[in-house]
A = this chain, B = another copy of it.
Amino acid sequence: MSRGHNFSAGPAALPEAVLRQAQAEFLEWDGSGASIMEVSHRGKDFIGVAEAAEADLRELLAIPANYKVLFLQGGATQQFAQIPMNIARRDQRADYVVTGDWSEKAVREGATLARIHVSASSQSTNYTSIPARDGWDLDPNAAYVHYTPNETIRGVEFHDIPDVGDVPLVADMSSTILSRPLDVSRFGLIYAGAQKNIGPSGLVVVIIREDLLARCPKDIPRIFSFAEHAANSSMLNTPNTFGWYLAGLIFKWLKAQGGLAAMEVRNRTKAQTLYDYIDGSGFYRNPVEVSVRSWMNIPFTLPTTELDAPFLRESQQAGLLALKGHKLVGGMRASLYNAVNQDSVDALVCFMKDFARRYG
């Protein structure tokens, strides 16, 4: 048995050291006589785990005290609905910046819950760019401005936080959170499905500024209300306890790596390694405008689609996993989340060079 170099876009690679720890304590957690999966979420063992995870996440992201951190279920996709349900009135405008397939989905899912307005879109460039900020059609009375800092499918990323004035900025950070330091105070609400940089799938983290909790309507089911979840420390119902526990181990691992400043250096270097090789190869190609290329998800194409099958077959044989591009884009995609290390990127580039030599 051996673990491959895992470039999956999500559920994605997890740090091996974290997996080994979870494996070692899988049948009995910390002398409790049971697996962490087998204890009540309301008991002191799990509450200790949950609180430590939140504290470590707060430390990593320097989350200000006036923000609540929620550990919920249903993924980012459920948040597409839950966010307008909670922080917009049904007749109120909410502004969305569309830079790819995930922001498109956010628009569609929110459509029955608020007056969703597309303020800007890069669809005309096939989502290989980001619309310039000065062209965004924003309403100062909008409930919020929603954007997707990193688009997982086409590999487009905002490298700065847009200024939207006093309107709360809402960000789907599923595929970029924890990849570098972040100024949380610039946001009204941040959400992120866990299955890229946080932990296993089935968990979504919501970071919400407290003043927005006052907007949550009283006449929605409690299970959808951020205010209710915040008042109940995310234990309004039984949370995904194993996911929360594993996220906590990952937060500790990130701290041990040197925190997000260290991850930023690593992630920048990993991405640069691959982009530099692609751009200089004369064989592979990444279509995204250079200034908005993602550090986390790097799609690339081969000179002809006939080469896709041998590339996938041979890369798999070489222990390079999950390089197939999203079906909407085709070609290849390498996702370089926190748990993917420089060795894996180097191994990929080495394989790509050899493949280009043999098929070029």
B202 touches A239 (CB 8 A): yes
Q: Is A201 within 8 A of B238, CB to CB?
A: yes
Q: Kindly state the separation between the CA atoms of A42 and B223 in the bound complex, as whole angstroms.
A: 28
A16 within 8 A of B: yes
| B322 & A74 in contact (Cβ 8 Å cutoff) | no
For the complex, what is the distance from the CA of A31 to the CA of B4, rounded to whole Å? 10
- Given A6-B38, A26-B23, A220-B112, A242-B13 contact (CB < 8 Å): no
**CB distance B223 to A8 under 8 Å?**
no
Q: How far is the CA of A322 from the CA of B10 in the complex (A)?
A: 36
Closest to A238 in B: B201
> For residue A236, which residues in chain B have a CB less than 8 angstroms away from its CB?
77
Alpha-carbon separation in the docked complex, A202 to B112 (Å): 27
Interface of A is mostly: loop
Q: A16's closest neighbor in chain B, by CB?
A: B27
The residue that A4 contacts in the complex, of B3, B14, B33, B200, with Cβ under 8 A, is B33
Whether A195 lies near B238 (C-beta < 8 A) is yes
Q: Which residues of B contact A10 (CB under 8 A)?
A: 40, 238
Report if A119 contacts B (CB, 8 A): no
Give the distance in Å from the alpha carbon of A32 to the alpha carbon of B316 in the complex.
10
Tell me which residues from 71 to 89 in chain A have a Cβ below 8 Å from any Cβ of chain B: 73-78, 80-81
Q: Contacts A27-B23, A112-B220 hold; do A73 and B202 have CB atoms under 8 A apart?
A: yes
**B residues less than 8 Å from A81 (CB atoms):** 221, 223-224
Contact B8 A39 (CB under 8 A): yes
Q: Is the CB of A39 within 8 A of B20?
A: no
The residue in chain B whose Cβ has the minimal distance to the Cβ of A220 is B112
A309 nearest CB across to chain B (Å): 15
Smallest Cβ-Cβ distance to A24: which chain B residue: B23
Q: Is A243 an interface residue (CB 8 A)?
A: yes
Which residue of chain B is the closest to A37 with respect to CB atoms? Answer: B200
Q: Once the chains are docked, how many angstroms separate the CA of A6 from the CA of B238? A: 18
- A sample of 23 cross-chain residue pairs with beta-carbon separation below 8 angstroms, ordered by A number, consists of A1-B28, A8-B34, A9-B40, A11-B39, A23-B26, A33-B321, A34-B321, A34-B322, A37-B201, A41-B201, A43-B322, A73-B74, A78-B223, A81-B221, A112-B220, A195-B241, A201-B240, A201-B241, A202-B203, A202-B239, A202-B240, A242-B242, A242-B243
